[in-house]
Copies of this chain bind each other. A is one copy, B any other.
Amino acid sequence: MEIDYSNIKVIGFDADDTLWVNETYFRDAELEFSKLMAPYETANTIDQELFKRQIENLPLYGYGIKGFILSMVEIALELSNNSISNKTIDAILNIGKDMLSKPVDLLEGVEEVLITLSQDYRLIVVTKGDLLDQERKLEKSKITHYFHHIEVVSDKQEANYSKLLNHLDIKPSEFLMIGNSLKSDILPLINIKANAIHVPFHTTWMHEHVVATEKDNKKYKTITSLLEVLPLLNKNQKTRV
């Protein structure tokens, strides 16, 4: 089923790894953590254990950097069998503080896409994670003025999107979500009969991976660069005139 672009009134953008680089910083942090923990375990086990702990802690800590740091400290205590040095713990805390101070690197084409689309659509940001950290990145990004609304949600499930559309007072068919995560930005939208365009980022967190059967549903479009949305949504503007 093709997307009927002529219906679209509001376009939602995911933020992390759709508008700017994010996952790369987490991967760098994991690598650094892995080096700190090298005396105790193989890099592979460290990665696996940290990932498992993050998922276990999600209901309590939610998404974002602070929960990630807390999970790293826990794993450091455990994998070292309570023999990790205070200096290493301090280094872990600093990995987190560095992450929270990273510059915001806009991805290719972001500004061009926002300039163009903001002329004909209401644009919003729908992002999950830590409220303050997302606000910090938005501010640093200098692109906030293109958006009518910024929605930071604790999770991106169908119910979160339904509530948002209700709040925006639009029908699902009038909403298009653009993002890099099939699990968070695409499939929930398809399930509530809204529209979605998938722009994969080169790195995806394991937790955001979906199995093949879930992906079979081909009611969304996949593009390789954000810039490819322009002909799709511009063409539509011409036919509407």
Contact = CB atoms under 8 A, between A and B. Distances in A.
Q: What number of copies of this chain does the assembly contain? A: 2
Nearest to A83: B86
Nearest to A69: B70
B70 A96 contact: yes
Nearest to A96: B70
Contacts of A106: none
A74 B93 contact: yes
A97 interface: yes
A131 B133 CA distance: 11
Given A131-B62, A131-B130, A90 B70 contact: no
A89 interface: yes
Chain A at the B interface: mostly helix, strand, loop or mixed? helix
A237 to B, nearest CB: 28
Contacts of A48: none
A132 B62 contact: yes
Contacts of A202: none
A-B pairs with lowest CB-CB distance, top 6: A62-B132, A82-B86, A66-B66, A132-B154, A131-B131, A60-B100
